[in-house]
Chain A
């Protein structure tokens, strides 16, 4: 599928108007501020149901677009989005055309960085909650980055696509299953890419494991574990009480499951070929009691008793198990409020090898005859075959092609150790070439929707909840992501 780039804005508005007659409604002229507490949550019977593809929509998993010399980007949300601004301003084939934030000083500061890096000053949109709409109205933008509070992701992404732009959406891309379907339908309708900006899929370790998995090093894959365990009690994430930054804590007052699944889940989904040969079948989820946020508030009394009446219902530790159609299992955990070091788990178990992250360890079966191994080396999986320096060397020798190509540059630019830049480089390079980005709207949907599915399971006493198939059967024939470079 090849769609023209840079269609005139009028064409897209026409398309939207047509679409408004049935299927997705066209983006309204001014979005009301979304209230996450009012999001549509479905029942256990309906949440896993596959919705029919609206007439006229076409899959986008192999969507190609016209190659372009320069990829023009706009970024909404310059707290989280600043890493993307930096990447964009340092990539020679990219131009940062416009920046948007509700706070003018944040926008000005980011514009200054772009100017410093490129000599060109991007347009600035700031000052009110709907100013982003003016930015996405421009007809000189190819890609809109959406890096705003979660409740804004879907409305912004859908509108960006309806106006002919690709939407690169931060994690979680959608808060509910309902929103995930809206992203899929909009992407398929407007034939625009809507990848999830899951930077962890571009971490050096993650790409190393993916590289090995794609080469069959692990044998048959059976089980994976991942997590987002990050003590955020003192980082401000939960204690910020000013208007722009208190939105995240809000989710802990009405959602009870894994409220941030994708950092861990994205990478292990890629290892397992989820959406490309395998698919999530169901999820069961159990939460511990809530202690962390309540105790933190009582102890630190942040900002003079504001939020004193908030009741937190999200258990400190959520553990979810996903079963796939091929029968594999994935454990996903979330804990942001316990006293323990950061981990994403990043564990993959196969018949021939086992990898565990944090710290990295690799056990290799003695029968594993993979050509990257020294056949004379004696191995025994009763202890870790490679860890520490030995593993670092093995990882360097078997780095993913993307790391070999751009890893060193990415580390220089930085952003979570370079993975932000590597991701942006790769995504924007796909747009430049006109090929499908590694992460598609189906990944965005199937990874993000665990937030809603786990909440549903917890509310229903840990019932297994059927997983919706956002590819509408496509996963059975889609090929695994190749070793891209």
Chain B
């Protein structure tokens, strides 16, 4: 599939108007009302599992190719989280930051100034009110829009971005609900635009190393993986006004499940070829009681006690298990309030080797005859074969091609240790070449959907909830992601 770039804006508006007559998606209204996350459409155990039919005229986008570009023109909405993407793009020679947008003027100006400092060119600025981003999307000189706003804004913004003929790169979680996941899939398939989840953890050095090994069959038959987002935000970020404390804590008041599944799940879903040869089948989820947010609030009365009436329902620790169509299991956890160090776990278990992160450790079966191993080396999986320096050396020797290519530059530019840059570089390079980005709208939907599915399972007393198939059967024939570079 090859689509022309920069179609005339009017064509896209026409397309939208047609759709509103009843051909699938309704047209996006001209000014978005501020979304209230409590109005999100949550589905019951039956509807949440249903695979919806593909609206007439839509086509899959898993192999969507587009016209190669010399320069990829980027705009960014949301300059708290999005600042890192601004910085990455400004440092990529084939990208141009055309416009930046934030509700806060100072943030927009700060980002624009930093772009000017790096590139000599100042991007256009959009700020001041909640709908300024819509004005930005009217421009016809933007190829890719990064959406890095509060979660409830992700889907309305991304839908409009695609309607306006731009690719949407959406921060995590791209969608809060399964219904929203379907909206993203349908819009990407309808407009034939990419709608990638920008899951930076898929571009971490360790994650790419494990992916590289997995793709080469180093682990043997894959059987089990573990991942998590365990990050103590309960004494800081969640109360920080003017930033994520304005909206993120709110989700803890009406959803009890895994509120932030993709940082851990994205990489292990890639190891296991989810959506490309395997697929999520069902999820069971169990939450612990809620303690720490309430206790912190009562003890420290953050922001002069203005949160004293907030009631939190999200259990501190959520543990979910995903079963895949091939029978593999994934344990995934979420805890952003307990007193414990950060971990994404990042574990992969196969018949020939086992990897665990935090700290990184690799156990290799005595019978593993992979060519990258020294055949004279004696091994026993009863202890970690490689850890610490020995593992660091082995990782260096067996780095993913992407890290070999731009890992050093990524570290210089920074952004979560460089993975933000490696991701932005790779994703924008795909758009430059006109090839499909590594992460598609199906990944965005699969990984995000665990949020509502886990909450549904918790609500139903941990009943198994079947996962909808956003690829509509495509996963059975889509080839695994190659070792890209």
Q: Name A residues whose Cβ lies closer than 8 Å to a Cβ of B.
A: 219-220, 222-223, 231, 234, 282, 284, 286-289, 291-292, 295, 299, 315-317, 319, 321, 323, 326-329, 331, 335, 338-342, 349-354, 363-368, 381-384, 461-464
**Residues in B neighbouring A363, C-beta threshold 8 A:** 339-341
**Residues in A neighbouring B315, C-beta threshold 8 A:** 222, 327, 329
Q: What is the chain B residue whose CB lies nearest that of A359? A: B359
Q: From B317, B323, B327, B340, name the one whose CB has the most chain A CB atoms within 10 angstroms.
A: B340
What are some 11 contacts across the A-B interface (CB < 8 A)?
A222-B316, A282-B461, A286-B321, A288-B327, A291-B351, A321-B286, A349-B316, A363-B340, A366-B339, A461-B282, A463-B463
Determine whether B438 belongs to the interface, using a CB cutoff of 8 Å to chain A.
no
- A284-B329 in contact (CB<8A): no
CA distance A291 to B382 in the complex (A): 18
User: If the complex has contacts A317-B223, A351-B295, are A286 and B323 also in contact, measured as CB distance less than 8 A?
Assistant: yes
CA distance A323 to B460 in the complex (A): 13
CA distance A284 to B381 in the complex (A): 29
Please give me the 5 A-B residue pairs with the lowest Cβ-Cβ distance, nearest first.
Answer: A339-B381, A381-B339, A365-B339, A339-B365, A340-B354
In the complex, which of the residues B321, B340, B463 contacts A319, with contact meaning CB atoms closer than 8 Å?
A: B321
- A220-B291 in contact (CB<8A): yes
**Residues in B neighbouring A464, C-beta threshold 8 A:** 284, 461-463
- B353-A329 in contact (CB<8A): no
CA distance A77 to B127 in the complex (A): 78
Determine whether B349 belongs to the interface, using a CB cutoff of 8 Å to chain A.
yes
Q: What is the chain A residue whose CB lies nearest that of B299? A: A367
- B354-A338 in contact (CB<8A): yes
Min CB gap A274→B, angstroms: 15
In the complex, which of the residues B224, B339, B368 contacts A316, with contact meaning CB atoms closer than 8 Å?
A: B224
- B284-A286 in contact (CB<8A): yes
Q: What is the chain A residue whose CB lies nearest that of B320? A: A321
**Residues in A neighbouring B364, C-beta threshold 8 A:** 339
- A462-B284 in contact (CB<8A): yes
**Residues in B neighbouring A219, C-beta threshold 8 A:** 291
**Residues in B neighbouring A286, C-beta threshold 8 A:** 284, 321, 323, 329
CA distance A342 to B220 in the complex (A): 20
Q: From B223, B235, B295, B335, name the one whose CB has the most chain A CB atoms within 10 angstroms.
A: B223
User: If the complex has contacts A222-B338, A317-B223, A317-B224, are A289 and B327 also in contact, measured as CB distance less than 8 A?
Assistant: yes
- A341-B321 in contact (CB<8A): no
Q: What is the chain B residue whose CB lies nearest that of A295? A: B351
Min CB gap B467→A, angstroms: 13
- B381-A340 in contact (CB<8A): yes
**Residues in B neighbouring A382, C-beta threshold 8 A:** 232, 341-342
Q: From B316, B323, B329, name the one whose CB has the most chain A CB atoms within 10 angstroms.
A: B329
In the complex, which of the residues A220, A289, A292, A323 contacts B286, with contact meaning CB atoms closer than 8 Å?
A: A323
- B326-A317 in contact (CB<8A): no
User: If the complex has contacts A339-B365, A341-B381, A462-B284, are A316 and B223 also in contact, measured as CB distance less than 8 A?
Assistant: yes
- A288-B329 in contact (CB<8A): yes
Determine whether B143 belongs to the interface, using a CB cutoff of 8 Å to chain A.
no
**Residues in B neighbouring A284, C-beta threshold 8 A:** 284, 286, 321, 462, 464
Q: What is the chain A residue whose CB lies nearest that of B349? A: A338
User: If the complex has contacts A349-B317, A463-B463, A464-B462, are A287 and B384 also in contact, measured as CB distance less than 8 A?
Assistant: no
CA distance A284 to B442 in the complex (A): 28
- B286-A462 in contact (CB<8A): no
Q: What is the chain B residue whose CB lies nearest that of A352? A: B339
Q: What is the chain B residue whose CB lies nearest that of A361? A: B341
- A340-B319 in contact (CB<8A): no
- B383-A321 in contact (CB<8A): no
- A327-B340 in contact (CB<8A): no
**Residues in A neighbouring B341, C-beta threshold 8 A:** 363, 381-384
Min CB gap B294→A, angstroms: 10
- B284-A364 in contact (CB<8A): no
- A288-B232 in contact (CB<8A): no
Min CB gap A222→B, angstroms: 4
CA distance A339 to B364 in the complex (A): 6
Q: A222-B288, A323-B286 are in contact. List 12 more A-B contacts (CB 8 A).
A: A220-B291, A222-B291, A286-B321, A287-B329, A289-B326, A292-B351, A299-B367, A316-B351, A321-B284, A327-B289, A342-B382, A382-B232
Determine whether B11 belongs to the interface, using a CB cutoff of 8 Å to chain A.
no
- B339-A329 in contact (CB<8A): no
Main secondary structure of the interface of A (DSSP, over half): loop
User: If the complex has contacts A291-B221, A319-B329, are A223 and B284 also in contact, measured as CB distance less than 8 A?
Assistant: no
Determine whether B292 belongs to the interface, using a CB cutoff of 8 Å to chain A.
yes
Determine whether B331 belongs to the interface, using a CB cutoff of 8 Å to chain A.
yes
User: If the complex has contacts A319-B321, A327-B288, A338-B354, are A354 and B329 also in contact, measured as CB distance less than 8 A?
Assistant: no
- B338-A462 in contact (CB<8A): no
B183-220 CB mask vs A (1 if < 8 Å, else 0) is 00000000000000000000000000000000000001
Determine whether B352 belongs to the interface, using a CB cutoff of 8 Å to chain A.
yes
Interface size on B, residues (CB 8 A): 53
Determine whether B411 belongs to the interface, using a CB cutoff of 8 Å to chain A.
no
Q: What is the chain B residue whose CB lies nearest that of A225? A: B319
CA distance A463 to B465 in the complex (A): 10
- B382-A349 in contact (CB<8A): no
B289-308 CB mask vs A (1 if < 8 Å, else 0) is 10110010001000000000
Min CB gap A388→B, angstroms: 12
Min CB gap A200→B, angstroms: 18
**Residues in A neighbouring B363, C-beta threshold 8 A:** 339-341
Q: What is the chain A residue whose CB lies nearest that of B353? A: A339
CA distance A368 to B354 in the complex (A): 36
- B461-A222 in contact (CB<8A): no
**Residues in B neighbouring A349, C-beta threshold 8 A:** 288, 316-317, 335, 338, 340
**Residues in B neighbouring A328, C-beta threshold 8 A:** 288-289
In the complex, which of the residues B316, B382, B462 contacts A323, with contact meaning CB atoms closer than 8 Å?
A: B462
Q: What is the chain B residue whose CB lies nearest that of A220? A: B291
CA distance A342 to B342 in the complex (A): 23
- A329-B382 in contact (CB<8A): no
Q: What is the chain B residue whose CB lies nearest that of A322? A: B286
In the complex, which of the residues A223, A231, A315, A317 contacts B382, with contact meaning CB atoms closer than 8 Å?
A: A231
Determine whether B287 belongs to the interface, using a CB cutoff of 8 Å to chain A.
yes
Determine whether B328 belongs to the interface, using a CB cutoff of 8 Å to chain A.
yes
CA distance A316 to B291 in the complex (A): 35
Q: What is the chain B residue whose CB lies nearest that of A381? A: B339
Q: What is the chain B residue whose CB lies nearest that of A333? A: B331
**Residues in A neighbouring B352, C-beta threshold 8 A:** 339
**Residues in A neighbouring B353, C-beta threshold 8 A:** 339
CA distance A292 to B317 in the complex (A): 31
- B338-A354 in contact (CB<8A): yes
CA distance A341 to B386 in the complex (A): 12
CA distance A459 to B35 in the complex (A): 43
Q: For chain B, residues 250 to 295, give those with C-beta under 8 angstroms from any C-beta of chain A.
A: 282, 284, 286-289, 291-292, 295
**Residues in B neighbouring A234, C-beta threshold 8 A:** 366
Q: What is the chain B residue whose CB lies nearest that of A365? A: B339
Min CB gap B408→A, angstroms: 27
CA distance A170 to B39 in the complex (A): 55
Min CB gap A287→B, angstroms: 7
- B464-A461 in contact (CB<8A): yes
Q: What is the chain A residue whose CB lies nearest that of B226? A: A319
CA distance A338 to B356 in the complex (A): 13
Q: What is the chain B residue whose CB lies nearest that of A368? A: B339
Min CB gap B223→A, angstroms: 4
CA distance A299 to B368 in the complex (A): 12
Q: From A295, A327, A364, A462, name the one whose CB has the most chain B CB atoms within 10 angstroms.
A: A462
Q: For chain B, residues 443 to 466, give those with C-beta under 8 angstroms from any C-beta of chain A.
A: 461-464
**Residues in B neighbouring A335, C-beta threshold 8 A:** 224, 349
CA distance A292 to B368 in the complex (A): 13
Min CB gap A458→B, angstroms: 10
**Residues in A neighbouring B351, C-beta threshold 8 A:** 291-292, 295, 316, 338-339
CA distance A316 to B225 in the complex (A): 12
CA distance A31 to B366 in the complex (A): 43
- B464-A463 in contact (CB<8A): yes
Min CB gap B354→A, angstroms: 4
User: If the complex has contacts A340-B381, A349-B340, are A321 and B319 also in contact, measured as CB distance less than 8 A?
Assistant: yes
